[in-house]
Chain A
Amino acid sequence: MASIDIRNVRKNFGIVSVLHGVDLAIENGEFVVLVGPSGCGKSTLLRMIAGLEEVTEGEIRIDGVRVNERAPKDRDIAMVFQSYALYPHMNVAENMSYGLRIRKAAREKITAAVSNAARKLELQPLLARRPKALSGGQRQRVAMGRAIVRQPKAFLFDEPLSNLDARLREQMRAEIKKLHRDLGATSIYVTHDQIEAMTLADRIVAMHEGVVQQVGSPLELYDRPANLFVAGFIGSPAMNFLSARYEFGGSTAGARLPDGTLIGLSSGYQLEQGAAVTLGIRPEHVEMSPASESSLRATVDLIEPTGFGIILHLGLHGLPFNVFTLDRAALTAGPTVTVAFPPQHLHLFDETGKRALESGLQKRKS
């Protein structure tokens, strides 16, 4: 187990720059998820930690030791690939023991480590099989077994569940989490799936276009997204955004929508009077309410029952707007509904897309 320090790491492929200075400190035993859309540089960062890509600039330290120039084999890390990358000409036991065998470990030690890992992952009956005789989930398990057999300093996961079907993915997700709880090993996990990120991570690193957007616990990212990108990326269905102008007067603050409706805010913000802002609200926080001064009328475009709840696709001044509700009455919603935004669930972003800083308005009020 180890801590991993990433200091101002940059990566260029030729003239294309894919990582623009990433700083990240991963503590011993932590489970960190790198999440972002494809092409955001998360896999590249992981491969740099593994030693599969060179570091253009900056420094990567494992347990305080600079590893930039070290070959992957000398970094003592393990990696689980999206394609599993099992050796097709070796059986399961040989696949799992390969790392120990080429490090010339004692035979008894290898046997013990393999059977131990096989027991943990319920692979004992499959040890003599070749990868092609395994199902996707079993291959995935073998790939994890190959990683844990060596007891490396850290585990790297590169979208390990992307090739599995939905049900299996949920199951393996839980197994990875259990495995991390049991082994307590430092883990870095790359995914584009925000649900995986939310459920697995101690800390999420949200990335976009080669820049870290926000680092924090899953709930921090959900409750207080640092910018429009994180707000839109974390959460499903995605957050709704409305453009508005910030207004304050005396002890109240609000956001004025283009149609003139004033949405009340629970706090003041460090913004100029009339500043252009983006108002964000998650579909699950929108209230379906009887008409009032601050409520909005929206047309119903589409109703999607998910079984658990209902997603309403609305049109608000011609813009798409989603609502998620558990109330089955919504299934029979008419051509229009009225929606209201509870102030405590509103997110305000300034012109540059950053989360607007709150000011002491609320305190003055109380």
Chain B
Amino acid sequence: MNRYSIFGTALHRLAILCYVVFALFPLFWLLKVSVTPNDLLYSEGVRMWPSQMSFEHFRFVLAHSAFPIFFRNSMIVAGATAVIVTLLASLSGYALSRFTFRGKYWLVALMLLTQMFPLVMLVAPIFKMLSPLGLTNSLTGLVVVYTAFNIPFATFLMQSFFDGIPKELEEAAKIDGATQFMAFRQIILPLTLPGIAATLGFVFTAAWSELLFALMLISGNSAATFPVGLLTFVSKFSVDFGQMMAAGVLALIPACLFFLFIQRYLVQGLTAGAVKG
């Protein structure tokens, strides 16, 4: 390796490092504030780590706030949305990838159309539609809305994964004696696991952190999800940063666990092109 390329590599790594630090610093700050006792929060100035650590915020959030309810609600909404969307998107993505049918072009155009304008525009009409159905202020309502908004993108995502699987594989399965659905379930689906993991992860995090609709459709604590719940730490006269950050850290845990769980398949997804024949 010559000097120039060592220098180049170093520069390259440094640039990446800068980006990583920039991206992760807010998370670090979240953690730092969450373990800083209230009395040190303003008195110590700007420090990278408090002189004294305490878990009092976590204790308070878990024992004395409505956070466990928010957390549970978020789990239900994000989990259900992720599962329903992935199930539907894998079926529709498969259909788009493999079959030709009347109106396919318009269906795709329609699905693209839903991705083209800001969601804020839809808040009022959605509210108007859901309220007579009794779906405002309910977790079911949120699941319905999130599912509807995530399906188009998830479908395209799944379609691209199905497109990457050679058609001959299911033709071979059909000749071997499988029905179309058996070929899908036994041959295609196992090969699409990375795609399914990616879709699950994408939809889960999207639903987990969604604020706009949750805020508009939910009032009161019983059906609030955690992004809405975080706002309860903002009171009229002060912001309880310590508790808010502690809640934030707790909210990160499921997302982290989820990605840890699916990471194996995501890495496989990067090598999916290698499965041919």
Contact = CB atoms under 8 A, between A and B. Distances in A.
Interface of A: 50-52, 71-73, 77-79, 81, 83-89, 98-99, 102-103, 131-132, 139, 146, 150, 163
A132 B191 CA distance: 14
The 8 closest A-B pairs by CB, nearest first: A99-B176, A85-B168, A88-B275, A85-B172, A83-B277, A73-B177, A84-B277, A72-B174
Contact of A98 (B176, B275, B277): B176
Given A81-B168, A85-B169, A102 B176 contact: yes
Nearest to A149: B176
Given A52-B174, A85-B166, A98-B173, A139 B277 contact: yes
Nearest to A103: B177
Contacts of A87: 169, 172-173, 187
Interface of B: 166, 168-169, 171-179, 182, 186-187, 190-191, 274-277
B179 A85 contact: no
A150 B176 contact: yes
26 contacts: A50-B175, A51-B174, A51-B175, A52-B171, A72-B171, A72-B174, A73-B175, A73-B176, A77-B175, A79-B172, A81-B168, A83-B276, A85-B166, A85-B168, A85-B171, A85-B277, A87-B169, A98-B173, A99-B177, A102-B186, A131-B277, A132-B274, A139-B277, A146-B172, A146-B176, A150-B176
Contacts of A84: 277
Nearest to A86: B277
Contacts of A77: 175
Contacts of B190: 89
Nearest to A131: B277
A81 B179 CA distance: 19
Contacts of B179: 71, 73
Contact of A81 (B172, B187, B191): B172
Contacts of A78: 175-176
A73 B169 contact: no
B275 A81 contact: no
A66 B2 CA distance: 72
Residue among B172, B173, B182, B274 with most chain A CB within 10 A: B172
B275 to A, nearest CB: 4
A72 B175 contact: yes
Given A73-B175, A98-B176, 4 more contacts: A50-B171, A88-B191, A88-B276, A89-B191
